[in-house]
Amino acid sequence: MLVSRYLRAGKLRIVFRGLAFLGPDSETALRTALAAGREGRLWDVVDGLYRRQGAENAGWVTEELLDEVAAEAQLDGDKLRAARGAPWVTAAIRTMQAAADAVGVRGTPSFQLGRTGGRLELVRLGSLGPEGITPGIDALLGQ
């Protein structure tokens, strides 16, 4: 991925702030991703879920699917399942939603860019591939 060149150079930091606004599937998926984050595998779980994403509110986030994603990410499905309901997960979801509301996020995925320690600006992308986000990063970093 082209964005990884910025990460390796120490010029870019990526922060995940998930939102659950599409019903039970969305919330269960987000809770699972956050629980995986405690094991250093958030991005692996998010990637696995996006690759298997079904129709909104169709019940596609099943325990079987989550176990498959967990196994692929080398995580214990039972441990993830137990962590999903932890108070810290609920608190994290509330915090992320408040942050999204404060900057006007109305859908996902959404991105904010800014220099380290500086103000973040909500960025509108033309696409989700590197060709959609790299120009915004280049402009921000003056490249």
Q: Are residues 5 and 43 in the same domain?
A: no
Q: Is the pLDDT of residue 91 over 70?
A: yes
At 110, which amino acid appears? S
Q: Are residues 86 and 143 in the same domain?
A: no
Q: Are residues 53 and 85 in the same domain?
A: yes
Confidence (pTM): 0.78
Q: Are residues 127 and 73 in the same domain?
A: no
Q: Which of 1-5, 49-53, 55-59, 133-137 has the highest mean pLDDT?
A: 49-53
| H or E stretch at 122 | strand 121-123
Q: Are residues 28 and 87 in the same domain?
A: yes
Contacts of 84 (CB under 8 A, 6+ apart): 28, 31, 32, 34, 35
Q: Is the pLDDT of residue 29 over 90?
A: yes
Residue 5 banded pLDDT, cuts 50, 70, 90: low
* Domain residue limits at 130: 1-15+108-143
